[in-house]
């Protein structure tokens, strides 16, 4: 799956679960609990076990959708994660979680990962007081991420931070100052991503 910019509810209906924690998507899946398309209701009742490859592909595509990254990026992150000591799947999730656009989203400065990427690319975010416009920039412990002065009264940013429900141990957020400190590298169980990362490791391992 490439970086996705179409209807978000449609993709989540295909996966059969809410991947973006917003009330409207929960309601859509409750109301239409079957895959999208003309034959969605028929597919809902089809039996049969999906192949191992199909399940692995599904988990990989879910992760790409959650972090809004392209296949080429995902593969590079996997190769980097495999070179690091420890569990490859956990390393992969930590690398993705450390992306600047994701931290902006987790901090509540944007309502979605797509909005967060736009804010970063337009140069509205600073890291330790320096403007950074690269969404893939990897944040490290101690970095302070803040919204630039010219964006602090933007209604979309204010609405996002006001309604933000994120409460992550590894991210200390100051809503009044519109800043957040990445305090430490998270543990796997702290990363709010509903995927089976071992399947993703198996998917790429069979291709290398």
CATH at 87: 1.10.1050.10
Asked if residue 147 is part of any domain, the answer here is yes
In the chain, how many domains are there?
2
Q: Looking at the domain assignment, is residue 2 inside a domain?
A: no
With a threshold of 0.85, does the pTM exceed it?
Answer: no
The pLDDT of residue 114: 93
138: which DSSP letter?
B
Residues 33 and 47 both lie in one domain: yes
Q: Are 136 and 111 a contacting pair, CB within 8 Å?
A: no
Say yes or no: 14 and 39 in one domain. yes
171 falls within a domain:
yes
How do the pLDDT tens digits run along the chain, 208 residues long?
Answer: 445 555 565 555 555 565 565 544 455 455 555 555 444 455 554 445 678 998 999 999 999 999 999 999 999 999 999 999 999 999 999 999 999 999 999 999 999 999 999 999 999 999 999 999 999 999 999 999 999 999 999 999 999 998 887 789 999 999 999 999 999 999 999 999 999 999 999 999 987 7
Pair (103, 157) in one structural domain: yes
What pLDDT sits at residue 17?
A: 61
Residue 1 lies in a domain: no
Per-residue confidence (pLDDT) for residue 63, from 0 to 100 = 95
Q: Among positive and negative, which fits the CA dihedral 74, 104, 135, 146?
A: negative
Question: Residues 73, 121: one domain?
Answer: no
Bridge partners, 174 (sequence order): 179
pLDDT (0 to 100) of residue 18? 55
Domain with residue 153: its CATH number is 3.10.290.10
Within a domain: 134: yes
Range of the domain at 176: 99-184
Q: Check: CB of residue 174 under 8 Å from CB of residue 164.
A: no
| Edge-to-edge order in the sheet of strand 144-147 | 130-131, 125-127, 144-147, 179-182, 171-174
| Torsion, CA 5, CA 174, CA 192, CA 126, rounded to 10 | 50
pLDDT of residue 202: 96
190 part of a folded domain: no
Specify whether 61 is located in the same domain as 104: no
Residue 189 inside a domain? The answer is no
Q: Cα Rg for the chain, rounded, in angstroms?
A: 18
119 and 63 within one domain:
no
Lookup: tokens for 73? 């990026």
Question: Has residue 15 been placed in a domain?
Answer: yes
Residues 50 and 128 in one domain: no
């Amino acid at each position: 799956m490439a970086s996705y910019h179409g209807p978000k509810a449609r993709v989540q209906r295909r996966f059969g679960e809410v991947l973006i924690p917003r009330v409207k998507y929960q309601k859509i899946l409750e109301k239409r609990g079957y895959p999208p398309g003309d034959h969605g209701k028929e597919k809902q009742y089809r039996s049969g076990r999906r192949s191992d490859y199909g399940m692995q592909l599904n988990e990989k595509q879910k992760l790409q959708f959650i972090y809004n990254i392209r296949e080429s990026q995902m593969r590079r992150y996997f190769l980097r994660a495999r070179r690091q000591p420890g569990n490859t799947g956990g390393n992969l999730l930590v690398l993705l979680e450390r992306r600047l656009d994701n931290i902006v989203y987790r901090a509540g400065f944007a309502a979605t990962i797509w909005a967060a990427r736009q804010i970063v690319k337009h140069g509205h975010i600073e890291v330790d007081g320096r403007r950074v416009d690269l969404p893939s920039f990897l944040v490290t412990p101690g970095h302070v991420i803040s919204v630039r002065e010219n964006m602090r009264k933007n209604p979309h940013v204010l609405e996002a931070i006001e309604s933000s429900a994120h409460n992550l141990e590894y991210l200390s957020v100051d809503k009044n100052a519109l800043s957040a400190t990445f305090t430490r590298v998270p543990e796997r169980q702290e990363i709010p991503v509903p995927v089976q990362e071992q399947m993703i490791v198996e998917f790429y391992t069979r291709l290398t």
